[in-house]
């Protein structure tokens, strides 16, 4: 079946298709009085709740590579990385505005595939796709998502409330997204090599990626930890500080410490790293702890709670206590498996303009 060029239906024909795909997300949000179709989306904020807003860009060749990324996964990830920021405030996402700049190589079906992923993720998180903007792009695909969320004022969690003596907690496991990215880049290099040598495409030269599905899923299809926000609310736990891990554990811990005016000591042996991430690191002769500290794109939550609240999280396997908050003069340190202290100021994470 030939693909339909976007020029055949034009900008407004494309927006109609996008609106149809966004439609099922509207049901979960009755406060949204108008979604796609007017000059603005119209939202009726609920009474006493505070509103939070976040935005993140996804740019071709910076955040994704279309050779290794299915478009529906990319759509889902664009929603999830923003929901993750809402979760980091201990808040709930309500609606999203999605803007895309589309390169000339894209067909109507490719845009639809992207929105199928967004719409699916939005439904999972109970948020509506309420509007956006569409442009052509003279270079690669660019996706910008803005999400509004809500939270009761007393539950709002910022980066700046950690105090010495408190526990540092992290959700899920770390390092998987970096492992997935390394594997995908390895497979891409093999594929390009093959094409360059004019060899016919042959699936058998590629690794069987099924055996790496956990790491690849962490990279291509991360989930924001809205389940953790629900858990925290259900147990009436209000972290004193919280951040999501987009740039690596080390960077995010520094953000909490800088904004809370504290130090921190975390323990290498307590950093949760899955067996499959360790296996990939061994295979690629790389270091899973470095991935956890600097890899980023985990979309797990890093937060602090008073020691007395330990028993409230103790039985929950999705949360690991990895260390404690210290005085500001103590710096931000990792105690390695031999008890040696490593200054985490020397191990920073992802930086768009980093050397
Ligand atoms: N171009 C920009 N203009 C205004 N504010 C920005 C810009 N880029 C980032 N920020 C703000 O700087 C802070 C840190 O951004 P970032 O590191 O991207 O956070 P996150 O990891 O939560 O996405 C956020 O409050 C964000 O809104
Ligand atoms: C093609 C490609 N190159 C590199 C990466 C790795 N990468 C891209 S952005 C990023 C960090 C997170 O992105 P950022 O824009 O800093 O998110 P924010 O902190 O604003 O949430 C990482 C590790 C990737 N996923 N794909
Ligand atoms: Mg950001």
Q: What is the pLDDT of residues 149-163, one digit of tens each?
A: 999 999 999 999 999
Per-residue confidence at 354, pLDDT binned at 50, 70, 90? confident
Same domain? For 107 and 195 the reply is no
Q: What is the pLDDT of residues 232-275, one digit of tens each?
A: 999 999 999 999 999 999 999 999 999 999 999 999 999 999 99
- Rounded Cα–Cα distance for residues 240 and 159 (Å): 8
Q: Looking at residue 208, what is its pLDDT?
A: 75
Q: Per-residue b/e over 205-223, b at no fewer than 16 CB within 10 Å? A: eeeeeeebebbbebbbbbb
Q: Is residue 160 domain-resident?
A: no
Q: Is the CB of 80 under 6 A from ligand 2?
A: no
Q: Is the CB of 246 under 6 A from ligand 1?
A: yes
**Segment 55-67 mean pLDDT:** 98
Same domain? For 237 and 199 the reply is no
Same domain? For 55 and 109 the reply is yes
- Tell me how far the alpha carbon of residue 55 lies from the centroid of ligand 3, in angstroms: 6
pLDDT at 2 over 80: no
- Rounded Cα–Cα distance for residues 193 and 7 (Å): 34
Decide if 97 contacts 130 (C-beta within 8 A). Answer: yes
Q: Is residue 145 domain-resident?
A: yes
Same domain? For 11 and 151 the reply is yes
pLDDT at 1 over 80: no
Q: Looking at residue 210, what is its pLDDT?
A: 83
Same domain? For 43 and 134 the reply is yes
Per-residue confidence at 194, pLDDT binned at 50, 70, 90? confident
Q: What is the pLDDT of residues 298-339, one digit of tens each?
A: 999 999 999 999 999 999 999 999 999 999 999 999 999 999
- Rounded Cα–Cα distance for residues 110 and 60 (Å): 15
Which ipTM did the prediction report? 0.94
Q: Is residue 162 domain-resident?
A: no
Q: Is residue 352 domain-resident?
A: no
Decide if 266 contacts 304 (C-beta within 8 A). Answer: no
Q: Per-residue b/e over 113-146, b at no fewer than 16 CB within 10 Å? A: bbbebbbbbbbbbebbbbbbebeeeeebbbbbbb
**Segment 158-186 mean pLDDT:** 98
**Segment 285-293 mean pLDDT:** 98
Q: Is residue 330 domain-resident?
A: yes
The domain in which residue 44 lies consists of 6-155
**Segment 121-125 mean pLDDT:** 98
The preferred substitution site among 52, 55, 56 for testing ligand 1, maximizing ligand atoms within 8 Å of CB, is: 56
Same domain? For 151 and 39 the reply is yes
Q: Looking at residue 205, what is its pLDDT?
A: 63
Q: Is the CB of 85 under 6 A from ligand 1?
A: yes
Q: Is the CB of 68 under 6 A from ligand 2?
A: no
- Is 115 annotated in some ligand binding site? yes
Same domain? For 251 and 282 the reply is yes
- Tell me how far the alpha carbon of residue 194 lies from the centroid of ligand 1, in angstroms: 40
- Is 290 annotated in some ligand binding site? no
- Is 201 annotated in some ligand binding site? no
pLDDT at 198 over 90: no
Q: Looking at residue 202, what is its pLDDT?
A: 67
Structural domains of the chain, count: 3
Pairing of strands 92-102, 128-136: parallel
Same domain? For 139 and 64 the reply is yes
Q: Is the CB of 56 under 6 A from ligand 1?
A: yes
- Tell me how far the alpha carbon of residue 297 lies from the centroid of ligand 2, in angstroms: 6
CATH of the domain at 60: 3.30.1330.10
Same domain? For 266 and 202 the reply is no
- Rounded Cα–Cα distance for residues 324 and 248 (Å): 18
- Tell me how far the alpha carbon of residue 273 lies from the centroid of ligand 3, in angstroms: 24
Least confident of 21-25, 180-184, 209-213: 209-213
- Tell me how far the alpha carbon of residue 295 lies from the centroid of ligand 1, in angstroms: 19
Decide if 239 contacts 305 (C-beta within 8 A). Answer: yes
Same domain? For 143 and 34 the reply is yes
Q: Looking at residue 124, what is its pLDDT?
A: 98
Q: Is the CB of 185 under 6 A from ligand 2?
A: no
CATH of the domain at 288: 3.90.650.10
Instruction: Report which bound ligand comes closest to the CA of 81.
Output: 2
Same domain? For 22 and 134 the reply is yes
Same domain? For 77 and 124 the reply is yes
């Amino acid at each position: 079946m030939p693909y339909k060029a976007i020029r055949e239906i034009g900008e407004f024909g494309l927006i109609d298709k996008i609106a149809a795909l966004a439609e099922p997300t509207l049901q979960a949000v009755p406060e949204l009085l108008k979604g796609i179709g007017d000059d603005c989306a119209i939202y009726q904020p609920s009474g006493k709740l505070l509103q939070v807003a976040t935005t993140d860009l996804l740019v071709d060749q910076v955040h994704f590579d279309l050779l290794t990324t299915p478009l529906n996964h990319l759509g889902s990830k664009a929603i999830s990385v923003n929901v993750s920021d809402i979760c980091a405030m201990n808040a709930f996402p309500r609606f999203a505005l999605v803007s895309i700049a589309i390169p000339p190589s894209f067909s109507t079906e490719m845009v639809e595939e992207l929105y199928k992923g967004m719409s699916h993720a939005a439904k999972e998180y109970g948020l509506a796709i309420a509007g956006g903007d569409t442009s052509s792009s003279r270079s690669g695909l660019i996706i910008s998502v803005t999400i509004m969320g809500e939270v009761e004022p007393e539950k709002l969690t910022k980066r700046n409330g950690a105090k010495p003596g408190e526990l540092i907690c992290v959700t899920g496991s770390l390092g998987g997204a970096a492992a997935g990215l390394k594997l995908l880049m390895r497979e891409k290099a093999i594929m390009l090599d093959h094409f360059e040598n004019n060899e016919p495409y042959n699936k058998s030269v590629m690794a069987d990626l099924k055996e790496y599905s956990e790491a690849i899923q962490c990279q291509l299809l991360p989930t924001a930890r809205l389940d953790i926000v629900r858990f925290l609310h259900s147990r009436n736990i209000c972290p004193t500080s919280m951040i999501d891990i987009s740039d690596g554990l080390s960077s995010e811990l520094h953000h909490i410490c800088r904004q809370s005016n504290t130090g921190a000591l975390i323990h290498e042996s307590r950093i949760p790293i899955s067996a499959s991430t360790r296996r990939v690191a061994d295979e690629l002769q790389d270091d899973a702890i470095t991935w956890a500290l600097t890899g980023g794109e985990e979309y797990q939550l890093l937060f602090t709670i008073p020691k007395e609240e330990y028993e409230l999280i103790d039985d929950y396997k999705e949360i690991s206590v990895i260390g404690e908050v210290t005085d500001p003069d103590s710096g931000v340190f990792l105690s390695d498996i031999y008890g040696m202290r490593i200054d985490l100021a020397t191990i920073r994470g992802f930086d768009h303009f980093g050397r």
